[in-house]
Every structure is written in structure tokens, then in C-alpha cells.
Amino acid sequence: MELTQPIRDIVELDKIKKYYCDIKPNKRNYLLIVCGLNTALRISDILKLRWKDVYNESLLSFKSHIDVKEKKTGKKTIIFINDNLKEALASYLKEIFEKKENLCEVMEQFIFLGQKSENKPISRIQAFRIISSAAKKCLLSQKVSCHSLRKTFGYHAWKKGVSPALLTSIYNHSSYKITTRYLGIDQDDRDEVFCLVNL
């Protein structure tokens, strides 16, 4: 079985992010990719999110954090909603409001609602198709899956100086060793360290 890798190249990352924004516009699919890249959540946890998890109906504003009980681990995690994620959420929510005006009804809906059902999110298989289709159309140099987005978050956080120990906490991994393997550090990354130190 091929191990899922993060998207390391910034240009490729930018291409896949923009695919459903510019080339084949679809705000739900765009949000799926942005959410995967910016929350470090597994796809099973992303798909169960409802609008009420990210939007405060009484204040008519987005929440600052998402509280999630992870399906796989049963652990609670709190995710900060950063600006890129908030913008993608707002854009898609605006589109939904143009079709449906009942705020209470919208708040109960899954964010990634399937088109065939009024009360179910898209499936994991459909999420995989959305993400891998964008990767293929953008001619990315590697196979990309839903899990690639989760790993991409950690890889780029690590490249920006976030310690693997903190990422272990963010990912709710049981050990530091799992996280370091998870980041997909390859020979190019190792070479970069030697070039940087260069004593």
C-alpha cells in the first residue's frame, strides 16, 4: 500500500487550492480542500461538521474555534478558524443563503451536504474523488488523497518552525515518533538543514 504524502511544493499546493475557485468553480469543493488544509482534521471529522459548529446564529458571526470529538480517537480537539478558512466558509454560506433563507434550517445542515440527500454529508469516497480529481487536473507530481491535506498542514507548519512536539498535540498522536514519520520528511528536507547550518 502506498503511503500518503503531504503536498510539499507551494506552487502545487496553490494550484490545488485554486482549482475549485478559478478553473472549475464550486464553493463547496473549494471549502473542502481549504478545510482539509487548515484544520488538520481527518476527513471523517470534516464531513460530520454542521454549520452550527462554525457559525454563531445568535451573534450572526463565525465562531473563533471548532470543537470536535474525533471519530477515530474519541478525543476532543479544538481548532482555531483561521482567516483563509473563515473566508471560504463565508463565501459558501453566502451562496447557500441565496438559495435558502431559513437560518435555523441551515445551521442544522451538514456543511458538506450531499446533492442527493437533504440530511447526509457527501461520502468519504466522494470527498476523495473531489480532492484527487483536482490533483489530477492540476497535474500534481504525486497522488493526492483526503489524508494528504491533513499531512500537508503538519508538513508546512513544521517548515515554518512549529515543533513536532506541538504538532503531536494538534494531531492527537500517541507519540512524537508517529508525528515525525507522519510529516513525510524526505531527503530534500534533510539536505536543506545541512545547507542552512553550513558552519
- Catalytic site positions: 42, 72, 147, 150, 173, 182
Q: Which residues contact 149 (CB under 8 A, 6 or more apart)?
A: 7, 33, 36, 37, 131
Q: d(Cα 37, Cα 119) in Å, to the nearest integer?
A: 25
pLDDT at position 98? 85
- Does pLDDT of 88 surpass 70? yes
> How far apart are alpha carbons 53 and 189 in whole angstroms?
37
pTM, two decimal places: 0.90
pLDDT higher at 156 or 100:
156
* b/e sequence 25-54, b meaning 16+ C-beta within 10 Å: ebbbbbbbbbbbbbbbbbbebbbbbbbebb
What CATH number belongs to 10-160? 1.10.443.10
Q: Residue 178's pLDDT is what?
A: 87
Per-residue pLDDT tens digits for 174-183: 888 888 888 8
Model confidence at 153, in pLDDT bands (50, 70, 90)?
Answer: very high
Sign (positive/negative) of CA torsion 36, 77, 108, 119? Answer: positive
HEC profile of 135-190:
HHHCCCCCCCCHHHHHHHHHHHHHHCCCCHHHHHHHHCCCCHHHHHHHCCCCHHHH
Residue 1 pLDDT greater than 50, yes or no: no
DSSP 3-state percent helix, strand, coil across the chain (nearest 5): 55, 10, 35
